[in-house]
Amino acid sequence: MRRRYERAEARRFTQRSRRRRMAWLVAGASVVGLVLVVLLAAYSPLLAVRTIAVEGTSRLDPAAVTTALGDQLGRPLALVDYGAIQSDLAQFPLVESYSVEARPPDTLAIKVVERRPVAVVQTATGFDLIDAAGVTVQQDAARIPGFPLLDLTGTQIGSPGFQAAASVLMSLPDALLGQVDRISGTTPDSVTFVMTGVGQRVVWGSAEQSELKAVILSKLIPTQDPARAVEYDVSSPQSPVVR
């Protein structure tokens, strides 16, 4: 009886082991099959890039960007060459940053963040339109309209004075920014600008408290005769002065 019982227990143990191995084999085969399906799908021509969508542009021509990225067409989405995309976009100075998104089955989306031009600077050959970092985004023989002229006398692009002047321009509301004809900043604490029209002058000082200074200046301007070349000093915003 004992021998018969031991043989029955051995058979049950063997059957459990076989079922366990079979379950592991089936699970492993399923995982391998799933991986193969995913790989085949990812690298399949059915998921190749057929459309390049360029988003977020305003000054930049999206068609030009699409043309520059044309070497990505026909590539499987999983094999998109991100290094080549970086090189292709480097030829567009207006591109500050970008992101790439694969949208199956066949679309590659490029989301662009453009540089924001803030001023023009005069050069030996004409005028450069630059952003707050001093990167040139456009060049022209004539002064580019719609932007203040940044006077670099006594300073240079990238200097503390330049950075202060650029920061002030970035902080101004559009209504006030549109009235600035030219700006200078030889030091971080000596930002001044001249407004369009009769040339009313603004002593701004440093870039600190620029939002408050902009509010105060906006309230002072309507109190003065627009035909009179007055000077607004908001360098100490708590005690502004009109001369």
Alpha-carbon distance of 235 to 200, in angstroms, equals 16
| pLDDT at residue number 37 | 44
Task: Pull the structure tokens for residue 141.
Answer: 């023989």
Q: What band does 175 get if pLDDT is binned at 50, 70 and 90?
A: very high
Whether residue 38 is predicted with pLDDT greater than 60 in this model: the reply is no
Say which CATH topology domain 46-114 has: Ubiquitin-like (UB roll) (3.10.20)
Global confidence as pTM: 0.72
Band the pLDDT of 42: cuts 50, 70, 90. Answer: low
Domain ranges for the chain: 46-114, 117-242
Q: Read off φ and ψ for residue 68, nearest 5 degrees.
A: -65, -30
Question: 46-114 and 117-242 share one CATH topology?
Answer: no
Lowest mean pLDDT, pick from 28-32, 101-105, 183-187, 230-234: 28-32
Mean pLDDT, residues 86-107 taken together = 94
Q: What's residue 61's pLDDT?
A: 95
Architecture of the 117-242 domain: 3-Layer(aba) Sandwich (3.40)
Q: Determine the average pLDDT of the residues in 95-107.
A: 95
Percent of the chain with pLDDT over 70: 81
Tens of pLDDT, residue by residue over 119-132, are 999 999 999 999 99
* Average pLDDT along the chain: 88
Q: Which residue has the higher pLDDT, 44 or 243?
A: 243
Rounded to the nearest 10 degrees, the angle between the axes of helix 210-220 and helix 160-171 is: 60
How would you write 188-218 as a 3-class SS string?
CCCEEEEECCCCCEEEEECCCCHHHHHHHHH
Decide if 133 contacts 159 (C-beta within 8 A). Answer: no
* Nearest alpha-carbon partner for 227 in 206, 202, 203, 196: 196
